[in-house]
């Protein structure tokens, strides 16, 4: 076997036992997210922003097979037609509903066969260098599990209620802390943007930390809330062209939006929000969610604010200070420090099945005083998704490179993001018109 990635020493220490536990837990979650759906729901309507779930769960198994069983172990395909069914870069999105997909039972059997073969291999030896590819498959499944949650939201399916909460996961988020109005002061200066090489696994678009120079800036201590965004809507924000840039105005004209996608007005003074299949009174203290980048930018113009760049966002989340209050070059892996999420630090893993108050999770504050920079909602930035200097593509060539220049960067994760996946340097990316995903935003002073 020849590996074309640099594997850090910590990767070689990842045990077979730990990988088997994580892979099994991820698969149980995948199945729990679709188990209650009918065959008709598993196909669903043909929409640009989602996949048929029956296809997508098969794709998850195919990805493990491609990179572990076939790439690492050079095994024969479990299904001879798997590439023709599940290769996402070769199969156009629009035709996935027209494929002669295996039945639910055949798909589940395929998924189990792939997992069984992987576990059989791991039971017989420690992973060594190929741990990279086991983790690649694991994190790919975690990302699709998050996509399954927003697909259920998009299609107004019931909220998942049968998730198996592993004892290895952090406890549910803690109680609401004190209100955090206003901005955190970030001193600026020289900052290393991107992942450092002591992190066991990172994606190619995070590589590697490189110096950027930032001016001092002020960033909101918390994400924009429903109440704050409702004030923009009530003030005619969607009707006033002055708040919308050229691209945003074009999108607004096309979709004829008057408010966030899942809101509806029940009375002159009462908004409702669709949460999966049911409408609930709009919760003032929750972060606004399911808004796209154009909506976020328009709110900022109305409020006399702006979106942070991804470098500003990461600096506010990662900055360490010495005993004299001087920013250090050493970065925090998470806003609160280097320890993985636990307890009341971050709303992750789907344990709350939704957002918590923008004031909650005080234990997760960054050194400059920003709350919930990890978890609750993904946060739009003003930055285009581009490679870092010296970018070298990883073996999974389709993960980042095809999307450079066409997406906006989001940071921080959401309530459905897995804690093992997220960190301060993790870069998510969507086209700016997407509002089906679990995204909100925080603002910066001009």
Other CB atoms within a 10 A radius of the CB of residue 387 amount to 15
- Together in a domain, 276 and 211: yes
Q: Provide CB contacts within 8 A for 402, sequence distance 6+.
A: 89
pLDDT at position 322 is: 83
Q: Which of 126, 154, 182 is the last residue of a domain?
A: 154
pLDDT at position 321 is: 84
Q: Which of 154, 188, 213 is the last residue of a domain?
A: 154
- Together in a domain, 230 and 286: yes
CATH number for the domain spanning 58: value is 1.20.120.450
- Together in a domain, 335 and 296: yes
Q: Report whether 371 contacts 180 (CB < 8 A).
A: yes
pLDDT at position 13 is: 61
Query: What's the CA gap between 10 and 179, in Å, rounded?
Result: 40
pLDDT at position 329 is: 83
- Together in a domain, 25 and 104: yes
Written as one string, the DSSP assignment of 11-45 is HHT--HHHHHHHHHHHHHHHHHTTTTS-HHHHH--
136 lies in some domain = yes
Structural domain containing residue 424: 174-446
Query: What's the CA gap between 426 and 422, in Å, rounded?
Result: 6
> How long is the chain?
446
Structural domains counted in the chain: 2
pLDDT at position 177 is: 53
- Together in a domain, 20 and 122: yes
94 lies in some domain = yes
Query: What's the CA gap between 123 and 20, in Å, rounded?
Result: 8
pLDDT at position 344 is: 87
Nearest by Cα to 196 from 446, 431, 430, 423: 423
Q: Which of 123, 154, 185 is the last residue of a domain?
A: 154
CATH number for the domain spanning 427: value is 3.90.1580.10
100 lies in some domain = yes
Query: What's the CA gap between 372 and 260, in Å, rounded?
Result: 22
Q: Name the strand (E) or helix (H) holding 185.
A: strand 183-186
- Together in a domain, 261 and 373: yes
Other CB atoms within a 10 A radius of the CB of residue 372 amount to 33
- Together in a domain, 121 and 209: no
- Together in a domain, 140 and 16: yes
356 lies in some domain = yes
**Pairing relationship of beta strands 183-186 and 217-220 according to DSSP bridges:** antiparallel
- Together in a domain, 256 and 395: yes
pLDDT at position 178 is: 56
Number of alpha helices (DSSP H) and beta strands (DSSP E) in the chain: 11, 15
Q: Is 64 helix (H, G, I), strand (E, B) or coil?
A: helix
Q: Report whether 268 contacts 328 (CB < 8 A).
A: no
Report the interhelical angle of 104-124 vs 53-64 (nearest 10°).
Answer: 20
Return the structure tokens found at 108. 């589940």
Return the structure tokens found at 388. 């870092």
Q: Report whether 335 contacts 442 (CB < 8 A).
A: no
Q: Provide CB contacts within 8 A for 227, sequence distance 6+.
A: 284, 285
Q: What is the Cα Rg of the chain in Å?
A: 22
Return the structure tokens found at 19. 């990988």
Nearest by Cα to 381 from 318, 278, 297, 258: 297
169 lies in some domain = no
pLDDT at position 1 is: 35
Quote the longest CA-to-CA distance of the chain: 66
- Together in a domain, 145 and 206: no
pLDDT at position 443 is: 98
Nearest by Cα to 364 from 223, 212, 263, 202: 223
- Together in a domain, 131 and 222: no
2 lies in some domain = no
Return the structure tokens found at 310. 């991804």
Q: Is 441 helix (H, G, I), strand (E, B) or coil?
A: coil
Tens-level pLDDT at each residue, the chain (446 residues): 333 343 343 444 689 999 999 999 999 999 999 999 999 999 999 999 999 999 999 999 999 999 999 999 999 999 999 999 999 999 999 999 999 999 999 999 999 999 999 999 999 989 988 999 999 999 999 999 999 999 999 999 999 986 655 434 444 455 455 557 799 999 989 999 999 999 989 999 999 999 999 999 999 999 999 999 999 999 999 999 999 999 999 999 999 999 999 999 999 989 999 999 999 999 999 999 999 999 999 999 999 999 999 999 999 999 998 887 778 888 999 999 999 998 789 999 998 999 999 999 999 999 999 999 999 999 999 999 999 999 999 999 999 999 999 999 999 999 999 999 999 999 999 999 999 999 999 999 99
Kindly report the pTM of this predicted structure.
0.94
Q: Report whether 228 contacts 179 (CB < 8 A).
A: no
Nearest by Cα to 63 from 35, 27, 98, 88: 88
pLDDT at position 5 is: 41
1 lies in some domain = no
- Together in a domain, 136 and 179: no
400 lies in some domain = yes
């Amino acid at each position: 076997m020849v590996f074309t990635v640099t594997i850090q020493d910590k990767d070689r220490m990842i045990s077979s036992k730990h990988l088997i536990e994580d892979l099994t837990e991820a698969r149980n979650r995948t199945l729990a997210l679709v188990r209650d759906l009918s065959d008709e729901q598993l196909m669903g309507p043909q929409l640009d922003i989602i996949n048929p779930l029956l296809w997508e769960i098969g794709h998850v198994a195919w990805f493990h097979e491609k990179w572990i069983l076939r790439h690492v172990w050079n095994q024969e395909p479990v299904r001879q037609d798997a590439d023709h069914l599940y290769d996402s870069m070769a199969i156009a999105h629009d035709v996935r509903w027209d494929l002669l997909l295996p039945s639910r039972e055949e798909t589940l059997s395929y998924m189990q066969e792939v997992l069984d073969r992987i576990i059989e291999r791991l039971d017989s030896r420690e992973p060594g260098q190929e741990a990279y590819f086991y983790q690649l498959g694991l994190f790919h499944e975690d990302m699709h599990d998050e996509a399954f949650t927003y697909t259920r939201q998009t299609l107004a399916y019931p909220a998942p209620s049968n998730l198996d909460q592993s004892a290895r996961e952090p406890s549910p988020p803690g109680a609401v802390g004190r209100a955090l109005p206003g901005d955190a002061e970030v001193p600026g200066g020289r900052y290393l943007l991107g992942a450092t090489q002591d992190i066991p696994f990172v994606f190619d678009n995070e590589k590697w930390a490189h110096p950027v120079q930032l001016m001092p800036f002020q960033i909101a201590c918390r994400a924009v809330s429903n109440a704050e965004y409702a004030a923009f809507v009530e003030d005619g924000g969607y009707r006033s062209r002055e708040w919308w840039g050229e691209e945003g105005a074009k999108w607004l004209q096309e979709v004829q939006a008057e408010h966030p996608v899942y809101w509806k007005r029940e009375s002159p003074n009462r908004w409702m929000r669709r949460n999966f299949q049911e409408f609930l009174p709009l919760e003032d203290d929750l972060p606004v969610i399911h808004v796209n980048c154009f909506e976020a930018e328009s709110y900022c113009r109305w409020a006399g604010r702006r979106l942070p760049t991804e470098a500003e966002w990461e600096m506010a989340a990662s900055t360490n200070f010495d005993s004299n209050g001087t920013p250090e070059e050493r970065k925090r892996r998470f806003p609160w420090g280097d320890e993985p999420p636990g307890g009341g630090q971050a709303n992750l893993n789907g344990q709350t099945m939704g957002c918590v108050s923008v004031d909650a999770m005080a234990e997760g504050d960054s050194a400059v005083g920003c709350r919930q920079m990890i978890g609750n909602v993904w946060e739009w930035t003003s930055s285009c998704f581009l490679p870092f200097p010296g970018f070298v593509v990883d073996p999974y060539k389709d993960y980042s490179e095809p999307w450079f220049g066409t997406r906006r960067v989001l940071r921080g994760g959401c309530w459905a993001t897995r804690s093992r996946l997220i960190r301060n340097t993790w870069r998510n990316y969507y086209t700016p018109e997407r509002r089906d995903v679990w995204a909100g935003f925080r603002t910066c002073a001009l």
